[in-house]
Amino acid sequence: MQTTAPMQHTAFIINRGDNLFLIVNNQLEGYTTFCKEFSGYEYESEYERFFYIVGTDAYVQILYNADKQPYLSIRDWEEKEYIQLSISTEQVAYFKQDEGVILLDVDSSIPQQELISALTSENIEETQEELTALEQKYNLEEYSLSGLILCHYTEEDKVQIRQE
């Protein structure tokens, strides 16, 4: 009987009500560059594990390729793209106007299905407790499962912001 190692994730989306998580690790192309580029740009939030990145520094946008397939793009205000992730048409509906996206940095040793099963709450405070439990289960350093809250902008949002 042949066994295989659990599939390692580089990025995927978890939708929990008003909380939309983009789960990533440092294997995702562009993620390390993004982190280096925006180190020091974080602003404290009301949450212990999550920090804000101002939308005019970096943001999330849903775009479409030449084949009209949607993808998530994390870019800066100068339109430099750091991360590109193919998403389904169904996932496009998760991205609501005036809602942010939590870019959650997760150790790749935690299986994707475990993350999906563990992050069940629609309440961000409870989500922080769920992340603490995962850290303990996988013997990870405290607050190693943390993230950035990014704005989600449409093209219309960007035009309006530039006019203000």
In the chain, the amino acid numbered 54 is V
Q: What are phi and psi of 44, to 5 degrees?
A: -60, 145
131 Cα distance to chain centroid? 15
> 122 by DSSP, 3-state: which?
coil
Average confidence (pLDDT) per 10 residues, the chain, 164 residues: 41 86 86 94 94 95 94 95 92 82 90 91 92 95 95 92 89
Is the four-CA dihedral 86, 159, 44, 18 of positive or negative sign? negative
User: What pTM, to 2 d.p., does this model score?
Assistant: 0.88
- Whole-number pLDDT of residue 28: 85
pLDDT for 8: 47
Q: What are phi and psi of 119, to 5 degrees?
A: -95, 90
Cα 70 from Cα 102, distance rounded (Å): 19
